[in-house]
Structure 1
């Protein structure tokens, strides 16, 4: 494995965290970074103190890698990446494995696998669960699906590197698994998270509007439900949900543009209760 060359494509918050952990703890011999905005890749490479180099084009990144990770914002983005790579007929893809950590539709994963397979490449659908701070800490939950031989090439970059746990959908089956199953689990998990964060947001707003205050509620959350949902409460109460750039969340896009994310549901709940979206303006 020490001779494996890795490319990382896409440097959003999750991508930066995962690629940092690969650079610091992965078994690869080299790491290549590519981002649509080259300056972002260059800045990230500089922060890794020589553990990564920058490619200025997708074909360059893929040409010089054996395992290629992608983590981008939506289905059109992964389609564009796939089409750009496949359009370059000079690249021999037959020995390469693509691992997509994006959250996309199950059919997008199936379509991507079929497109790469036609050129002899392997593909793993591998969405991840966890907020950016979990990506930074290498504590994500990864969900790989695909051919077992392809998953085996990706696994050395999971637990102990980018992840704390792996839900390998091929475990115990002795068979290759439809790549769409990984995205299906991601959608179901996100639905649970969204509903829970929605309830959390309404609860924090109720604590504010009734005069109880968020302090006692946060103390109860830390004791009763420590973990990711207490951390979401931290982001709401501290104002982090609107003060820094985070992954896009459609329901708050109109209010915060590209800086809106799931914790911004709290801001939407505040507005519904007659308060301002930004809670720090109350102080």
Structure 2
């Protein structure tokens, strides 16, 4: 049985590790949270006392960590020193492009293959194994990573060279943040103009204003398919996480002199929302702020 180390068992990582177990892999799991470790054990993972212990003897190592500094610290401080020759590294965290490329370059220099493979889909998709992976790295590393990623997702797409997975993720989420803000302000205005939300949805969802934010993730309770809006904006994709991705996107834009006025505006709006204490609610809750609540 192939042994995989999984480091980082948060809301996303826990479900992902469980799906690797379901796919027949032996998973050595580590997290700083005792509760996360206990949950991973219940899902069939083998508890490891440290990241280095999890990585020792593994043929592949998957990391799902909060930020670039954590990724660099875990690989440079622990994994590189204990990984066996030929071990494949898969970082599924959402981090800045520069750090992703730096860590992959360091891994390559030490003779390892590594991909950056951030995800799209949220907590429910992580649990269901229906994530989308955007993968950066060499063609050879991608082919090695694909079976492992496929055990956790419905789509595994090679985005190009090292760091391009992160580039695709932050560009996608900048687009999502901007379109959700636009969708919310439009619903708020339509209602003030006397349009019933369901009627506006019925019209716009089959017209040129249609978007995923409207038809798959409608921010208005009781309209369209069931979304976090129907649960007081609990669950889903947290405001704080959207803000993190928007900051990564606008920072990346500065490094390549890209003009992103809509991305900048979305970041500013979500910063206001997070500063108002709404960081833990779903990002579609921005409709309440735009309604003046």
Q: TM-score, normalised by structure 1?
A: 0.77
Q: How many equivalent residue pairs?
A: 255
Unmatched 5+ stretches in structure 1: 170-176, 277-283
How far apart in 2 are the matches of 1:27 and 1:93?
Answer: 21
Pairing 1:163–2:161 present: no
Q: Would you say the 8 A contact 2:185–2:290 is kept in 1?
A: yes
Q: Would you say the 8 A contact 1:94–1:119 is kept in 2?
A: no
Match of 1:173 in 2: none
The SS at the match of 1:167 is strand
The aligned runs of 1:204-215 (5 Å cut-off) are: 204-210=187-193, 212-215=195-198
Match of 1:31 in 2: 27
Match of 1:194 in 2: 177
Task: Say which of 96, 102, 106 aligns to 2:93.
Answer: 102
Change (3 A) 1:40 1:207: farther
Q: TM-score, normalised by structure 2?
A: 0.75
Cα deviations across residues 35-61 of structure 1 (Å, max 9, x unaligned)? 121321212321x1xx21121211111
Q: CA deviation at 1:13?
A: 2.5
The SS at the match of 2:106 is helix
Q: Would you say the 8 A contact 2:184–2:287 is kept in 1?
A: yes
Unmatched 5+ stretches in structure 2: 219-225, 244-269
Change (3 A) 1:57 1:21: same
Cα deviations across residues 224-265 of structure 1 (Å, max 9, x unaligned)? 759664342243532443468846233232233651453333
Match of 1:40 in 2: 36
Coordinate RMSD, CA, aligned:
2.8
Match of 2:7 in 1: 9
How far apart in 2 are the matches of 1:228 and 1:200?
Answer: 7
